[in-house]
Amino acid sequence: MTALTRVVNSRGHYTIDRDRDGYGYIGKYALVGGISSVTFPCQGFPLVFFSIPYNQPDPGAKTVENAYTYSEGRPGTVLIGVKNNGNGTWTATAISGAGEYLRVFGKVSQNWPNGSGRVPNLKLRGDDGTLHFDAGLRMLKLAGDTYDMELVLDHQVPGWKEPTNKYDRSYAVPFDLNNKSIAAACRCTIGMPYDYGVRTDWDTGQSYTQWHMPYYDTLYAGSGSNLQVKRCITENDPDFETTGFYNVGASSITTYSRLAVIDNTKYP
């Protein structure tokens, strides 16, 4: 007979459940800025949070045609992929400024099957003996109830004379976003070629239409208690060969995402 099965917090959330896996803090990994990757160990699929810049000035009112760099100088971070390397490690790729971090959490049962080793300690195991909670770990806990918020990452129709902040959105969260990390999806990265004008090939004297191909992405940043979702262009292929390329029409794709936020100071 087990007395303790489940503990509920003041808002009705389960905070300890001996029958369900919690997540423990594996560590933080520095991003060097730009498009960069880090590799970390984790058994099973990791939860990856990324730190976001806070109250940084945003120059992002350029037009798409003038935006050739990965971020257009806009402050922001986004996790764009987590790839399984197949040997107990994962490689996460992000777009960020320098000095941002990925914070990684793994399932307790898979990453600490025998516990953290810290004593004295509180451990909870399920009926089958699987470890689900270990007070010697920094267990995942959120900065508030933002997981219940749905973010809408609008489709990005690349009218190339539009300002790049046209599709920005802002979401109010119930706390200040200073020194926070978030989990949220990136926007699908779909390029759409645009007609850059007629050019002449000087070798042949032939005229041809030059196409540019910008690839759009998402950036997240904090401003006070507002989470900002921005558009950026991660690359711009200036002489794109359109032959055989599928046509992404004017109605591209909207991506929906949940949000979760953690306090960086709890995960040093």
- Residues near other proteins (CB under 8 A) are 6-17, 20-23, 35, 37, 45, 47-48, 79-84, 91, 93, 107, 122, 135, 138-145, 147-148, 150, 155, 183, 185-191, 215, 246-248, 251-258, 260
Give me 121's structure tokens: 């300690």
Q: How far is the CB of 5 from other proteins (least distance, A)?
A: 12
**3-state class of 153 per DSSP?**
strand
Task: Judge whether 15 and 93 are in contact, CB under 8 Å.
Answer: no
Which residues fall within 8 angstroms of residue 155, CB to CB, at 6 or more apart? Answer: 251, 252, 253, 254
Q: How far is the CB of 228 from other proteins (least distance, A)?
A: 20
**Minimum CB distance to other proteins smaller for 58 or for 96:** 96
**Minimum CB distance to other proteins smaller for 9 or for 66:** 9
Omega before 214 within 30 of 0, i.e. cis: no
Q: How far is the CB of 166 from other proteins (least distance, A)?
A: 19
**Minimum CB distance to other proteins smaller for 7 or for 61:** 7
Nearest alpha carbon to residue 232 among 244, 220, 224:
220
Give me 12's structure tokens: 């009705």
Q: How far is the CB of 237 from other proteins (least distance, A)?
A: 9
Task: Judge whether 256 and 151 are in contact, CB under 8 Å.
Answer: yes
**Minimum CB distance to other proteins smaller for 27 or for 144:** 144
Q: How far is the CB of 113 from other proteins (least distance, A)?
A: 15
**Minimum CB distance to other proteins smaller for 197 or for 244:** 244
Long-range CB pairs of 88-91 (<8 Å, 24+ gap) are 88/41, 88/42, 88/43, 89/39, 89/40, 89/41, 89/42, 90/39, 90/40, 90/41, 90/42, 90/46, 91/37, 91/38, 91/39
**Minimum CB distance to other proteins smaller for 16 or for 26:** 16
**Minimum CB distance to other proteins smaller for 200 or for 254:** 254
Nearest alpha carbon to residue 70 among 56, 60, 82:
60
Half-sphere exposure of 204 (CA within 13 A, CB side): 6
Q: How far is the CB of 126 from other proteins (least distance, A)?
A: 12
Q: How far is the CB of 39 from other proteins (least distance, A)?
A: 11
Cα separation, 49 vs 180, whole angstroms:
9
